[in-house]
Amino acid sequence: MCGIVAYIGHQAAYPIILKGLKRLEYRGYDSSGIALYGNQIESYKKKGRVSELESWDSPILQEAHAGIGHTRWATHGEPTDANAHPHQSNSGKITLVHNGIIENYASLKAELIQKGYTFKSETDTEVLVNFIEDIQINNNSTLEEAMRIALKRVVGAYVIIVLEEGYPDRLIAARKGSPLVIGVGEGEHFLASDASPIIEYTKSVIYVNDYELAIISKDDIILKNLGNEPVTPYIQQLDMELAQIEKGGFDHFMLKEIFDQPASLTDCLRGRLDVSNLTLTLAGVDQHLSVFTQAKRIIMVACGTSWHAGLIAEYMIETICRIPVEVEYASEFRYRDPIIHPGDVIIAISQSGETADTLVAIERAKEQGAFIFGVVNAVGSSIARLSHAGAYTHAGPEIGVASTKAFTAQLTVLAMMALKIGKAKQSISEEAYKHYLTELSQIPEKVQVILSGHESIREVAQVYAEANNFLFLGRGYNFPVALEAALKLKEVSYIPCSGYPSGEVKHGPIALVDETLPTMFIATKDKYYDKIVSNIQEIKARKGKVIAIVNPDDSAIRGVSDHVMEVPETDELLAPLLTVIPTQLMSYYIGVLRGLDVDKPRNLAKSVTVE
């Protein structure tokens, strides 16, 4: 939630910050703003997209070599110019951008109002900047010390970056619970919520940890904890390339990322699945294999699309490993006082590795003795660092807010984990193990086959682009695909959608069926196939429109469906990796046909770093 960019160095700060905010706009796009330090600090902020900032006309745009920027996903206060960041203290001496939520802002605000402070916005951020100033004045302290004192009293999550009048060659940043990365250059430094605004300028980065302050000039970076003790910066090298965060000729990032999947799945399998020898290497699992084989229970904790990947993995692990699996919404798990035993394995699934609810959930599970395994895409992310072990999905940057390639990469990692553990437990035969590895190795090529038929899916989308409702149904491994398909379509088209197990259609959803309701069945050949045929007949008997995802040799379902989409055959355990692709394309095309911005759906942000 929200994107932050800052720069200090020898170049003009404005174009660097503006370009960085555009790259972070998937994190929030309700409003945006920039503060620059030339002869003094000047700010410009507007409701709407980052492009609104291009109307700023001031000499400072060429003069300033230091500045901070922000693109907002509204939490406190509706999207307005006044609520946009940056925010200034009452004196105007301190200017601040903030990602996160200050939970005790109301009591702090009341305290400040009693002291005579006034507020121009509805935000918790303006409270924070004035709280810092009040401490600085009353303690006659430096800004750094005032921030340290203030942040010890603040409840909530934050990344803040601060400019102070009189100090044109310095930025001060701090974090707790929200991500911050510093790009290390020659005579310049870059700060951002993730690496995408930085990669164009440097691959050397420092990931700031919770409860750390960074004092940054163009030539130096000093890290300290809130106890004022120095922290040694750890510089890492990014493996991201600039081309990965560009559209590459596609109209939208979402479409590019759907079409990335043959390559992203190949990258996910590379170095892990040896097709010639039919062996599997997963370092994070290999190093802790006994933890998994002796586990009495595995709990998967995730949100949104990642939760759907966990549901499919539940089927996989219970089938292959014979270990009980629970799949929890992180936002519920963190509050319901779950029963955790030492030796339980918690698998945290998150594209960004920064999902606030998931982070808190695994922190609490870790305190109770659970073993934490992270499945994340973002290298160096908070979940990756908090986990005992993990596996990166190697999907590459995902800019579109609606997750596509991250989902299939997560599912691929989880499938490999299930196979690795099952083989070690001998709960799967050698023959079955090799069969699954062979099938898994062929998935990228089969995804490419589906993508080559994207025009036929677009034609189906044209038929249903004006639908007022949508129903998605599947069984077994494909039931969570129905949930994911419903989520994806509602995210990018704003059409109300529901996903259900096909067997539940008679227990309520069938009341929705009439001649105007499109129903999509995920209906590939598996042990549920005959049941799916019967379910389709039930919908057709009530004049419902049926779209079916089928295998090429299907005739029974093809004969009773209004439209079909083909996917190659594979083992039913791996079928979701294929059946989800047509649903992604269908969602994309319907969103575009409805004239919507599929990369930046309303009210949504890519990385949910606040509660």
| pLDDT tens per residue across span 476-498 | 999 999 999 999 999 999 999 99
For residue 239, pLDDT over 80 is answered with no
**How far apart, in whole angstroms, are the C-alpha atoms of residue 342 and residue 105?**
37
Predicted local confidence at residue 1, as pLDDT: 64
Active site members: 2, 606
Q: Which domains does the chain have, with CATH numbers?
A: 3-243 (3.60.20.10), 250-441 (3.40.50.10490), 453-598 (3.40.50.10490)
Residue 182's alpha-carbon distances to 162, 178, 282, 526, in angstroms, are 14, 14, 30, 49
**How far apart, in whole angstroms, are the C-alpha atoms of residue 504 and residue 545?**
18
Q: State phi, psi for 262 to the nearest 5 degrees.
A: -55, -40
Nearest to 515 by CA among 546, 537, 490: 546
Predicted local confidence at residue 17, as pLDDT: 95
**How far apart, in whole angstroms, are the C-alpha atoms of residue 463 and residue 482?**
20
Count of residues in the chain: 611
Res. 528 pLDDT band, cuts 50 70 90: confident
**How far apart, in whole angstroms, are the C-alpha atoms of residue 405 and residue 234?**
30
Q: What percent of the chain has pLDDT over 70?
A: 98
Contacts of 336 (CB under 8 A, 6+ apart): none
Predicted local confidence at residue 243, as pLDDT: 64
Predicted local confidence at residue 337, as pLDDT: 80
For residue 101, pLDDT over 90 is answered with no
For residue 610, pLDDT over 80 is answered with no
**How far apart, in whole angstroms, are the C-alpha atoms of residue 409 and residue 376?**
10
Least confident window among 149-153, 307-311, 418-422: 149-153
Average pLDDT in the chain? 92
Radius of gyration of the chain (CA): 25
